[in-house]
Amino acid sequence: MAEPDKINPNRLGDYLEIMTKAVFQSGISWKVVSSKWPGIVEAFQGFDAETVAGFGEKELDDLTGDTRVIRNRRKLEAIIGNARRMIELDEEFGGFQKYLRSQPDFDATVKDLRKQFKFLGLTGIYFFLHVVGEKVPPHEEIFPDRG
């Protein structure tokens, strides 16, 4: 897989979009996620964090039946919950980037992200942090068997 492009997040929804991609890529081919991504962006209304955080049971049921998305209900629920938690942390720290930088090192950041958000493992967190432009150790240091 080619190294993902980094972005400069300008809004909370940018963080949510990259985190959602990491959630969907957990256990699913990145090619499948990439091919469905335009429809996922539409279904999640451009990843406006407040909008996604406001999704209720009706919207969740609609997403579960929407062929544009990967219809894993647990992941869809996690994405909505992740949006809500992201907003809380953004408010608590005065910005989501400040939250990400509140930990002393990469390992502590990984541990806290796993605690705060659903469906994020080490690979997803590494991807997320790398793409949003946060400092991460060299790939081969974290994943020595994946050369």
Task: Give per-residue pLDDT as tens, 87-144.
Answer: 999 999 999 999 999 999 999 999 999 999 999 999 999 999 999 999 999 999 999 8
Within its chain, how far is the Cα of 61 from the centroid?
A: 21
CATH class of 12-132: mainly alpha
Give pLDDT, residue 117: 98
Encoded tokens for 23 = 């959630």
Quote the pLDDT of residue 4. Answer: 66
Q: 81 CB contacts (<8 Å, ≥6 apart)? A: 118
Q: Give the whole-angstrom CA distance, residue 58 versus residue 96.
A: 28
User: Residues 75, 120: contact at Cβ < 8 Å?
Assistant: no
Q: pLDDT for 43-95, tens place per residue?
A: 999 999 999 999 999 999 999 999 999 999 999 999 999 999 999 999 999 99
Residue-level pLDDT at 75: 97
The pTM (predicted TM-score) of the whole model is 0.93
How many Å apart are CA 14 and CA 88, to the nearest integer? 16
The predicted pLDDT at position 6 comes to: 84
Q: What is the pLDDT of residue 1?
A: 44
